[in-house]
Amino acid sequence: MVSVSTPVSRRFALTGAGAVLFAAGFTDRAAAVTAGMFEDVRRHGAKGNGIAIDSPAINRAIDAAARRGGGTVVVPAGRYLCFTLRLRDNIALVLSAGATIIAADPAVHGAHYDPPENYMEEQFQDFGITHVHNSLIRGDGVSNVAILGPGMIHGTGLDREGPGDRWHGRAGWQSAAALGLSPRELALRDPAERATIGRANKAIGLMRCRNVRLDGFTILQGGHFAVIAHGCTNLHVDGLTIDTDRDGIDIDACRDVRITNCTVNAPKDDAIVLKSSYALGKAVPCEDVLIAGCKTSGYAMGSLLDGSYRQSDYRSPDKLGVLGRIKLGTETNGGFRGVRISDCICTNTRGILMGIVDGGTLEDVSVSGIVLREPVNHPLFVHHGARMRAPRGTPVGRVRQVRFEDIVVSGADPRFTTGIEGIADAPVEDVSFDGIDITTRGGGTREDAQRTPAYRRETSLEVSYLGTLPAAGIYARHARRLTVRDLRLRTEAPDQRPVVALRNVEGAVVDDIASAMRRDGVLDARDSRNVAIGDVVTFDG
């Protein structure tokens, strides 16, 4: 289970000894004082004028503190143009009020970011996920570190795109061994990967770090990933404000993570996403994760910070619009377990999506206390597919034990209902929906009610290929032991689809349903067995 640390006052955290104490969880005051030496980056030559390259001076300040066993490095008010900043053990980097770390632009200032640190024989995820050295701020194998606000990181010089994956499922793929090359030599033969050398695509990149605190600062325009962490343990991300045009917070193959009180605006990609990729060179689960008290949105980048909340004109590849959602997936090699998402508000985004597509097991996931306003697509969805972007011989995964509770959805698109889509040889198991309140525009037709959505076994996590679903409230196909209880469905226009539509479901309980449909129109359970329906209440509108 996730453990939540005892709160520490921000005033104490921002003093020299307190910052490291706050970051590392030290309880021995003498040890904290020893580690809490104070370094001002200006004393090491930083100018903070937005013109000089200040990363060498800031790195000198970090190194000076590290040589004494750790300490606090303070960035005073100013604009600090930087290439890669390298975190060290027992370091707290404090961005003071009025301080902005600005990502240098390689086209203007030269390609001087740290190069990527590894080149894998098979790359089962995008190039951008595989490395962290090519970040504005990076930590590789460090412990007891923190980045503390209230200052800002502005990723104006970071890349937002990059090379894709390279694995045996790609047409024309050849192994490095077959070509007589090292993985690095093979990668550098690829013009797209070679062009990334000296450039960066992440505001903060962490790999195999322990005891990390990210607290109270702002990221504007965070590159491909504003924050990405691989294989980290005891990571607490609290009170961040992120306004970006790609991913916000990516947690990959990490354990004991708390993401609390963050606001993430990400119109062109996911706001908060858990992954379990092969970036560590092996399948590692993402587990014991708490996401609580957060807000996500998909407005135009910058309009969260300036308060205008402008609509984004972005249209995703499926032409449905913005993203900005909370998600478990994309890469799923190691699976997910012990995840709780609670008390979050998601406005003008895609809904909450989770599932397995590359092997691995998703289990013991709870989603509760969520408000979803104007979701672009399915408010809640659980998906199992078999894309299998994984080493040869990896078995198909499993999805089980997921609970949705106390969720309010308003302004839902009637085409995209809440649902479950499994695969015939690996149904989704033991999912419950309890206390779900949905308001939708309605308007579903009799033809919609008779639709058979496309079935795709080999697919990514996205489910837009299903099209309009044959249910007004909840749809499930290839599932076992499903529970739908205390569901309230309101439609602004009459809808001729059933509230709940089940296809190839083995064992289901549908109870305490309130809608404008007659009882005989509430449930369509064709090709399903052992389905029980309980109380149904009808009302006008």
Confidence class for position 6, pLDDT limits 50, 70, 90: very low
- pLDDT, residue 37, reads 58
Beta carbons of 418 and 438 less than 8 angstroms apart: yes
Chain segment 372-412, per-residue pLDDT in tens: 999 999 999 999 999 999 999 999 999 999 999 999 999 99
**What integer is the mean pLDDT of 343-351?**
97
Asked which of 5-19, 83-97, 257-271, 379-393 is least confident by mean pLDDT, the reply is 5-19
492 lies in a domain?
yes
41 lies in a domain?
no
415 lies in a domain?
yes
- pLDDT, residue 493, reads 93
Confidence class for position 520, pLDDT limits 50, 70, 90: confident
Which of 274, 96, 128 minimizes the C-alpha distance to 200? 128
DSSP secondary structure code for residue 423 in this structure: B
**What integer is the mean pLDDT of 25-50?**
68
- The whole-angstrom distance between residue 200's C-alpha and the CA centroid of its chain comes to 20
φ, ψ (nearest 5 deg) of residue 59: -65, -35
**What integer is the mean pLDDT of 249-272?**
98
Chain segment 470-503, per-residue pLDDT in tens: 999 999 999 999 999 999 999 999 999 999 999 9
Neighbours of 486 (CB within 10 A): 16
452 lies in a domain?
yes
Termini Cα distance of the chain = 42
Beta carbons of 223 and 159 less than 8 angstroms apart: yes
**Please, what is the average pLDDT of the chain?**
92
178 lies in a domain?
no
Residue 467: pLDDT above 50? yes
- pLDDT, residue 18, reads 45
The H-assigned helical ranges of 180-272 are 183-188, 191-194
- pLDDT, residue 541, reads 58
528 lies in a domain?
yes
Across 377-534, the runs of DSSP E, i.e. the strands, are 380-384, 398-412, 418-421, 428-442, 474-493, 500-515, 523-524, 529-533
Chain segment 198-213, per-residue pLDDT in tens: 999 999 999 999 999 9
φ, ψ (nearest 5 deg) of residue 74: -105, 130
Q: Which residues contact 209 (CB under 8 A, 6 or more apart)?
A: 87, 139, 140, 141, 142, 143, 145, 229, 232, 233, 235
Confidence class for position 519, pLDDT limits 50, 70, 90: confident
Beta carbons of 419 and 476 less than 8 angstroms apart: yes
Beta carbons of 73 and 145 less than 8 angstroms apart: no
**What integer is the mean pLDDT of 215-221?**
98
- pLDDT, residue 517, reads 74
CA-CA distances (angstroms) from residue 241 to 152, 265, 289, 304? Answer: 9, 8, 20, 9
404 lies in a domain?
yes
Which of 71, 91, 67, 93 minimizes the C-alpha distance to 80? 93
Beta carbons of 297 and 265 less than 8 angstroms apart: yes
Beta carbons of 353 and 399 less than 8 angstroms apart: no
Across 76-191, the runs of DSSP E, i.e. the strands, are 78-82, 85-86, 91-95, 99-103, 135-140, 143-148, 152-154
Residue 115: pLDDT above 60? yes
Enclosing domain of residue 471 = 351-541
- 454 CB-contact burial (10 Å; exposed 0-12 / middle 13-18 / buried 19+): exposed
55 lies in a domain?
no
Chain segment 170-197, per-residue pLDDT in tens: 888 989 999 999 999 998 989 999 999 9
Residue 10: pLDDT above 60? no
Structural domains of the chain, count: 1
**What integer is the mean pLDDT of 403-425?**
97
The H-assigned helical ranges of 53-162 are 55-67, 106-109, 127-130
Confidence class for position 252, pLDDT limits 50, 70, 90: very high
In degrees, to the nearest 5, what angle opens at C-alpha 313 toward C-alphas 312 and 318? 110
Residue 365: pLDDT above 50? yes
Q: What percent of the chain has pLDDT over 70?
A: 93
